[in-house]
Amino acid sequence: MHETAALISSPIGVLAILCAVAGFFFYLERATGAKLFQYVPPLLFIYITPVILSNVNIGGASIIPNKSVIYSGLSTFALPAFIVLMLIKVDVPAVVRIMGKGVLVMLMGTAGVMVGGVIAYMIVHRWLSEDAWTGFGALAGSWIGGTANMAATKEMLGTSSELFGLAVIADNAVYIVWLPLLLISRNYADRFNAWARVPEERLIAMEAAAELHAEEEHAPTMPEYLFLAAVVIGVTWMGIALAPGISQWIGTNVEPLAPVFGESTTRILLVTTVALLLSATPVSRLPNSTALGTALVYIFVAGIGARAEIAGLAQAPAFLLGAFIWIFIHGAFCLAGAWLFRVDVHSVAIASAANIGAAASAPIVAAHHKPSLVPVSVLMALLGYAMGNYLAPLTGYLAKFAAGQ
């Protein structure tokens, strides 16, 4: 990282800029209604804008610095907080009840992300830096779960801000191609369902189960915000307090796993596991947690952008090639799952969107295919969040080993 003077260097000033950047592009999306944001989500702009602010010099000084206590603070405190906020809403029984075998197609899609990541990396790694597998792991986090998993995997694998940037760029480039394909697939529903041998009663049963699942999230009250804060801060504190000891124990007693289970990885996996356990308790009924968690994710991504060097993005062509190879392997796995489990095109499209686009895109695809499935599409995306922090780092390591690095 280069160090240069910054016009805004105080921690609170830097945080204000990151929050303003994250908020501005969502405001722009709502205020203008521009179709651009349907194909290029605000996430890309939220990452790239701080890259520019911290790298472009004005009179010998950048707007914000490459290094700040705020960036490390976001990794230590904001990251575990948004993991808890987003995972306490996971409702696996509801997803299985409504989608049935559609969940198996999503799991096939997840397997396709893992296998595709390894194969794609083996093909393109010769044109990438030695540590590019960590960028592939971060992208696997987005495609198994979502942006939160992408950010968490970055911390677990030690992905550089530049490689994370490549993952963000690849994620958005693929999204521009993949989302229209998922939407267009509705036009071929009859032919697809005949090919997949979908039983006629499947769609009827799915619609009936969706009607029984009522989402009634009320406006949060002040005590509920306090309860939510207590849970989030408590789990975050527990992860920070226990991770060093657990990591040290693993390093001492299971030496081959020591490089994998560093303190950061252990902390994130511990917080993830506790949050998933809490999702089976009344804590899951606390309102507004997903929205708060998502807001923190975008501020965190802005902070990652601020740490990046523009020169580190030069590997983009090879990284993008790998991403497109990767996504079509995922698609092949989804099609195989549809045929094996006799699942309709609507469920397949939603399952793929829940993986690749997460909670931002799954409802868009569901609304286009089957509006009654919009609520469950969000639940499917949360199921991806639940798996991402475990499977995405594993994908990164498998890619590394497969490439002989």
Q: What is the DSSP string of 316-358?
A: HHHHHHHHHHHHHHHHHHHHHHHHHHT--HHHHHHHHHHHHTH
Please indicate, yes or no, if residue 39 is contained in any of the structural domains.
no
Proportion of the chain above pLDDT 90, given as a percent:
53
Residue 182, in any domain of the structure: yes
Which sign does the torsion angle of CA 287, 106, 198, 366 carry? positive
The Cα–Cα gap between 273 and 183 comes to 34
Q: Check if the beta carbon of residue 270 is closer than 8 Å to that of residue 246.
A: yes
The predicted model gives 256-276 an average pLDDT of 88
Q: What is the pLDDT of residue 170?
A: 92
Q: Phi and psi at residue 62, in whole multiples of 5°?
A: -80, 170
d(CA 316, CA 311): 11
Question: Would 82 be classed as within a structural domain?
Answer: yes
- Distance in angstroms (rounded) separating the CA atoms of residues 243 and 227: 24
Residue 46 lies in a domain: no
- For residue 353, pLDDT beyond 80: yes
- The answer to whether the beta carbons of residues 396 and 113 sit under 8 Å apart is no
Which is nearest to 386 in space by CA: 213, 152, 154?
Answer: 152
Whether 1 shows a pLDDT value over 50: the answer reads: no
| Bridge partners, 61 (sequence order) | 5, 58
Quick: pLDDT tens for 111-168: 999 999 999 999 999 999 999 999 999 999 999 988 889 999 999 999 998 899 999 9
Is 241 part of any domain?
Answer: no
Strand partners, 6: 62
> How high is the pLDDT of residue 223?
93
In-domain check, residue 380: yes
CA distances in angstroms from 224 to 79, 97, 368, listed in the order given: 21, 28, 34
The reply to whether 167 falls in a domain is no
382 part of a folded domain: yes
**Least confident segment among 5-19, 229-243, 248-262:** 248-262
pTM of the model: 0.86
Number of domains in the chain: 1
On the question of pLDDT at 5 being above 70, the answer is yes
Q: Which domain holds residue 394?
A: 77-158+176-218+314-402
**Whole-number percent of the chain with pLDDT over 70:** 95
320-343 pLDDT, tens digit each: 999 999 999 999 999 999 999 999
Q: Check if the beta carbon of residue 250 is closer than 8 Å to that of residue 259.
A: no
